[in-house]
A and B are shown apart, each in its own frame.
Chain A
Amino acid sequence: MIDDGLVLAGRTLRSRLIVGTGKYSSFALMREALEKSGADMVTVAVRRINISDRSRESLLDYIDTSRFTLLPNTAGCYNAADAIRTAQLGREAGLSDWVKLEVIGDEKTLFPDTEGLLEATRVLVKEGFIVLPYTNDDPIMARKLQDAGAAAVMPLGAPIGSGIGIQNPANILIIRETITVPVIVDAGVGTASDAAVAMELGCDGVLMNTAIAGAHDPVRMAEAMNYAVRAGRLAFLAGRIPRKLYASASSPLEGILR
Chain B
Amino acid sequence: MKLEINGEMRCVKASATVRELLENLDIKPDRVAVELNRRIVKRQDWDRAALQELDKIEIVQFVGGG
Q: Which residues of A does B touch, CB under 8 Å?
A: 20-24, 30, 43-49, 51, 54, 58-60, 70, 72-73, 75, 88-90, 92-94, 160-161, 187, 207-210
Contacts and interface: CB of A to CB of B under 8 A. Distances in A.
Contacts of A23: 64, 66
Given A51-B5, A51-B8, A54-B26, A45 B35 contact: no
A235 to B, nearest CB: 26
Contact of A93 (B7, B25, B31): B31
Given A51-B25, A60-B31, A46 B59 contact: no
Contacts of A46: 33, 60-63
A89 B58 CA distance: 10
Most chain A CB inside 10 Å of its own CB: which residue of B8, B59, B65: B65
Contact of B65 (A21, A48, A88, A94): A21
A69 to B, nearest CB: 13
Contacts of B34: 92
A211 B26 CA distance: 36
Interface residues of B, number: 26
Interface of B: 5-8, 10, 25-27, 30-35, 40, 42-43, 58-66
Given A88-B40, A92-B33, A93-B31, A48 B60 contact: yes
Given A51-B25, A60-B31, A92-B42, A44 B63 contact: yes
Contacts of A89: 33, 35, 40, 58, 60
A44 B10 contact: no
Contacts of A48: 6-7, 58-61
B40 A92 contact: yes
A58 B25 CA distance: 16
